Amino acid sequence: MASQDWFDKDFYKVLGVSKDVSEADLKKTYRKLARKYHPDSNQGDAAAEATFKEISEAYAVLSDTEQRAEYDQIRAMGSGARFQAGGQNGGGFEDVFSRFGQSRGNPRAQTAEDFDDIFSMFNQGGRFGSGGFGQTSGGYRGFGGPTRGADVTARTTIDFITATKGDTISLQGEDGNPFKVKIPAGVSDGQKIRLRGRGRPSPDGGETGDIVVQITVRPHPVFTRDGLNLRVVVPVSFTEAALGATIEVPTLGGDPVKLRVAPGTPSGRVLRVKGRGVQTSKGLGDLLAEVQVAVPSHLDDEARAALERFRELEPTENPRADLMSKARG
């Protein structure tokens, strides 16, 4: 930042804070203003963008302890001081030297110590860079360097199989041109994919923003995700659960697999098929088949008679006895 700017700009006024503001309150105030004037929230509003740059510039100086102290020292010398471009009087730090001369007597009798005081005020820690006064390789000090371009948010809905196995899809950008997005295997609903350097350009030569793609995964009619595992509910008949059976279970995008249901299997028991879940760079999940005993809603007379006979023969134990005992405490 040019030295003249530090004389002319009141960063405390820009942020609406007092000169003794704490670091915590300074940060809180800046964040509130940044949210209000951020270009993403005020697209096409040149005034809001200009205000955002001003508050960013002010915060960059005041949030840095050394820069804030240096800024306060420079401002304390008065807004009348000017760094002139040189002329018949030798130009340069005319008003600054005259201020020191007034406080010490004859300005022509300045000592080396006086000059050391002046330069140490502006050059604490050797902060003059080759790029100019207060400028470092990352941009002008006090402003925080060039402004990063804004991120662009995109949204897309993909099917369950694409989210599980991964794919490359095309989306339309703000400019109407398509761009490709690689969907990694195992992406979850609500996950965001960041495309570095594909967003809006910086207004002053800084880093380009990103495209942030938010993923919505369309539910599958049969399968659900459980981390890297896939879950599926498998209905079985009462006789299959009671007597045992071998059943077929679907897999995602593949052939069915056979599972053995042991005699006396209750509803809710989970049978595991190793290695038939979601495969990613982090590992391979399993297929979890949850058994659900299907109760027939309609019985003919013969079937009803057979169940009545079974009820007479089944064990007399109460399946809810343990539940009642636990409930009573």
Q: State pLDDT tens for residues 115-148.
A: 444 444 444 443 333 333 333 333 333 445 688 8
By the 8 A CB rule, do 161 and 188 touch? no
Quick: pLDDT tens for 226-276. 999 999 999 999 999 999 999 999 999 889 999 999 999 999 999 999 999
pLDDT of res. 18: 92
Query: What distance lies between CA 261 and its chain's CA centroid?
Result: 45
Distance of alpha carbon 75 from alpha carbon 58, whole angstroms: 14
Q: Which tokens in the block code for residue 126?
A: 């050797």
Least confident of 16-30, 72-86, 191-205, 247-261: 72-86
Query: If pLDDT is split at 50, 70 and 90, which confidence band does 278 have?
Result: very high
Among 221, 223, 166, 173, which residue's Cα sits nearest to residue 191? 166
By the 8 A CB rule, do 71 and 6 touch? yes
Query: If pLDDT is split at 50, 70 and 90, which confidence band does 7 have?
Result: low
pLDDT of res. 290: 96
pLDDT of res. 127: 37
Question: What is the model's pTM?
Answer: 0.53
pLDDT of res. 311: 87
CATH numeric code, 223-328: 2.60.260.20
- Where in the chain are the domains? 3-140, 152-217, 223-328
Q: Which CATH architecture has domain 152-217?
A: Sandwich (2.60)
Distance of alpha carbon 227 from alpha carbon 286, whole angstroms: 10
**pLDDT above 90 covers what percent of the chain?**
43
pLDDT of res. 4: 53
**Residues 109-114: what's their mean pLDDT?**
45
Element (H, E) at 6: helix 3-8
Q: Which tokens in the block code for residue 94?
A: 């005319």
**Which range has highest mean pLDDT (22-36, 264-278, 310-324)?**
264-278
Residue 79 has pLDDT above 50, yes or no: no
pLDDT of res. 237: 93
What type of residue sits at position 11? F
Domain 3-140 = CATH 1.10.287.110:
yes
Q: Which residues contact 94 (CB under 8 A, 6 or more apart)?
A: 82, 84
**Residues 89-106: what's their mean pLDDT?**
43
R_g of the chain computed on alpha carbons: 37
**Burial of 70 by CB count in 10 Å (0-12 exposed, 13-18 middle, 19+ buried)?**
buried
Same fold, 3-140 and 152-217: no
Strands (E), 197-312: 211-217, 223-226, 229-237, 245-251, 254-261, 270-273, 279-280, 283-284, 287-294
Count Cβ atoms below 10 Å from residue 4 Cβ, excluding itself: 13
**Residues 86-90: what's their mean pLDDT?**
42
Mean pLDDT across the chain: 79
